Every structure is written in C-alpha cells, then in structure tokens.
Amino acid sequence: MSEVKCRRCLLNELAQGRELYESVRAYRAELPPEERTEDREFEARLRECRECGYLANATCMQCGCFVEIRAAKRDIHCPMLKW
C-alpha cells in the first residue's frame, strides 16, 4: 500500500509530525525577537501555505522545507512569493 500524502496539512495536524511540531515550537520560541515572525504574521503565513497546492505532509514541495520553520523567521519568504 502506498503512503498517502496529506495535502494542506501542517505538522500539528499530522499524527506522525507531533514530536517534530513540538521541536518547531521550541525553535521558534528560542529565536531572538528581531528574527522571529510575530504571531499574527506567522499564522497568516501558515494560512497561505495551507491553501497552496505545493503543500504536502507539512512540506513545501517547491523548496523542500517544513513550512512552519520557513514561516517562523521574519527574513525568510515563500518560494512562490505568497508572503
């Protein structure tokens, strides 16, 4: 049986991604405030990612990153220029 890719799912929505999601939360919390995306902007970025056709299993299929990590840093942007 082939593995089913979860379209438009983020790490916190994937059963197998829960531990990694907690690591991402810790990573974001430890970023210096001047590098960390503000909460509202972070959530807006993730909403854009969730609607994107390149999102699969919490991964951006354009750049290969976990979208929560990319969205966490203020100076990193979407490879599709959506944010």
Three-class HEC string of 3-49: CCCCECCCHHHCHHHHHHHHHHHHHHHHCCCCCECCHHHHHHHHHHH
pLDDT value at residue 5: 61
Lowest mean pLDDT segment, chosen from 10-14, 27-31, 39-43: 10-14
Query: Could you tell me the pTM of the whole model?
Result: 0.84
Q: Name 53's bridge partners.
A: none
pLDDT tier at 1, thresholds 50, 70, 90 = very low
Average pLDDT over every residue of 23-44: 95
Q: Give which of 3, 11, 2 is closest to 67, Cα–Cα.
A: 11
The alpha carbon of 2 is separated from its chain's Cα centroid by a whole number of angstroms, namely: 24
